[in-house]
Structure 1
Amino acid sequence: MIIGIIGTGSIARDIVDGLAPEGPTVHLSPRNARIANELARRYPDVHVRADNQSVVDAAPLILLAVRPDNVREALAGLRVPGDRVVISAVAGWSVEALSALLGDGVTVVRSIPLPAVRERRGITAVHPAHPAAEELFDRLGGALVVEEPTTFDALSAATASISSYLHYLDAVAAWIARQGMAADAAESYVRSMFSGISVADQSTSLSELARAHETPGGNNEALRERWFNPQNRAALDDALEHIRRRVAASTSEWAR
């Protein structure tokens, strides 16, 4: 497998780190020279190219991992042969909008790589189905083919919950600290408390896992019923729907 990556940020770094044990050749754009050079020093099969065109020329499979507002600049003037497959990790850019920039014949696949690809346990949503994209992400934890663009937008919106989860942990740690513990000790305790709970076991549903950590009439149940009540759950649903509409709107906007 030979892969070219345009845009060398955190997504590219996680993917390269995850792929390195598999040994594919990776060609990086020089846009973020610090990260690109760091990866090239670390892995003998990773190379930094002079520009984006050199990346396209060197690799049949291209991962586009730039910010949404940098897409036009990154693709401006590129000559992309029709036999290339471009996998986009860019939020908000539809297959149609990217195809209009890349030209006829270039295959475009959207994807949502998650940080866990670095450890080869991230499930990556792809739309539409394509064997090259599925092979790539199967190496990194698994590919989830999504047929409908609206469903893909929902998965994209769901990733917005990551920072809220981390803020939740921070709030719990801050509450402990207010009870008299040093802030760093409280944070270490919360990290330890949640690090032992694995959600990776697919044989147990999330609702079953939650029930397994509750005793009827116990403290976990009491906190959940008091805080994560129907009103708060409805507020979460409303917030996710707001983000889904925002994702859909941005997809339409970048298509103009």
Structure 2
Amino acid sequence: MKVIGFVGTGAITEAMVEGLLAEPAHSFNIHVSPRNAEIAATLSAKFDKVTVATDNQAVVDQSDIVVLAIRPQIAEDVIRRLRFREGQSIISVVATMERQNLLDWIQADTELVQAIPLPFVANRRGVTAIYPPNQEIAALFDALGTAVQCASRKEYDLLAAASAMMSTFFGIMEFTNDWLEKNGLDRTKGQAYIAPLFESLAQRANEKTVHSFHSLSKQFATRGGLNEQVLSDFETKGGHTILVSALDRVLARIEGRGGDI
């Protein structure tokens, strides 16, 4: 049985452990660092397969796959203190971190894969970009939803930029609900309508028969209809331009070219 170790016990570690060990549980034993004592204790109490290690080095020593789930601000200090085995599999979920920096800090010939797991992995509904391609690590994230293997760092960075759309997604829902309330609809009714509406649209987009989002957009925009009117306003009155500009600036930040807020 494979052993997965987590260096860092924050929200992403908690989500991944929940997804891996919720019933029906996958065949992994898990070691977590004691850094966040509350989360570590909670996971250990909830799942028999979770052990709280004495320290980060114990996590590395006892694991086949090590997940580096630490804040970027302390990543170098934490990683440099650890001794990794030659050939050990390492997954870094440290945000916006240069691959070469990680390799320099690890100081061992390891299998390093970078990943961007999202909180939805807790419910096995997360989509996770990984780089470089690695079948074993892809299988791990497929168990938590869906893995997308990136052939280049550019592909990986682009998907990282796309993930910055999450807050805007919910923001659009909130803006719509604000508008409904201002026009006389109770907020609870608006939310009860909007959330299932957007969920249904996402499910439709995820169907295997869908070849492009453009085709769906056209399908739902009846000529002369209300959907076409809103889409036209968005595209011609600045919405498209602002969105592209925002994504360009996010990508610039990810690639270290500026673009700071």
- Would you call these one fold, judging by a TM-score over 0.5? yes
Distance 2:50 2:215 in 1: 43
Out of 42-51 and 199-208, give the one that drifted further: 199-208
Alignment equivalent of 2:253, drawn from 243, 246, 252: 246
Residues 38 and 235 (structure 1), Cα distance of their counterparts in 2 relative to 1, 3 Å cut: same
Distance 2:116 2:209 in 1: 24
Q: Is the counterpart of residue 136 in structure 1 residue 143 in structure 2?
A: no
Q: How does 1:27-176 map to 2 (within 5 A)?
A: 27-176=31-180
Letter of the structure 2 residue corresponding to residue 180 of structure 1: G
Query: What are the Cα deviations for residues 18-65 of structure 1, in whole angstroms up to 9, with x where unaligned?
Result: 211213111111222222222222211112212111111110101111
Q: Is the counterpart of residue 185 in structure 1 residue 189 in structure 2?
A: yes
Distance 1:104 1:143 in 2: 26
Does the aligned pair in 2 maintain the 1:157–1:243 contact within 8 Å? yes
Letter of the structure 1 residue corresponding to residue 171 of structure 2: H
Distance 2:33 2:206 in 1: 33
Does the aligned pair in 2 maintain the 1:92–1:250 contact within 8 Å? no
Alignment equivalent of 1:210, drawn from 208, 217, 229: 217
Does the aligned pair in 1 maintain the 2:4–2:63 contact within 8 Å? yes
1:175 is displaced (CA, Å) by 0.8
Secondary structure at the counterpart of residue 51 of structure 2: strand
Distance 2:245 2:257 in 1: 18
Distance 1:115 1:203 in 2: 27
Q: How many residues are paired up? A: 251
Out of 165-174 and 17-26, give the one that drifted further: 17-26
Distance 1:104 1:54 in 2: 17
Distance 2:19 2:207 in 1: 20
Letter of the structure 2 residue corresponding to residue 79 of structure 1: R
- Residue 231 of structure 2: aligned partner: 224
1:132 is displaced (CA, Å) by 2.7
Residues 93 and 250 (structure 1), Cα distance of their counterparts in 2 relative to 1, 3 Å cut: farther
Give me the TM-score of the superposition, normalised by structure 2: 0.88
Name structure 1 gaps, 5 residues minimum.
Answer: 252-256
Does the aligned pair in 1 maintain the 2:89–2:112 contact within 8 Å? yes
Q: Is the counterpart of residue 10 in structure 1 residue 25 in structure 2?
A: no
Query: What are the Cα deviations for residues 188-208 of structure 1, in whole angstroms up to 9, with x where unaligned?
Result: 322132222213213213222
Out of 116-125 and 162-171, give the one that drifted further: 116-125
Secondary structure at the counterpart of residue 215 of structure 1: coil
Residues 250 and 59 (structure 1), Cα distance of their counterparts in 2 relative to 1, 3 Å cut: farther
Residues 209 and 119 (structure 1), Cα distance of their counterparts in 2 relative to 1, 3 Å cut: farther
Secondary structure at the counterpart of residue 142 of structure 1: strand
CA RMSD of superposed structures (Å): 2.0
Letter of the structure 1 residue corresponding to residue 232 of structure 2: E
Name structure 2 gaps, 5 residues minimum.
Answer: none
Distance 1:47 1:200 in 2: 37
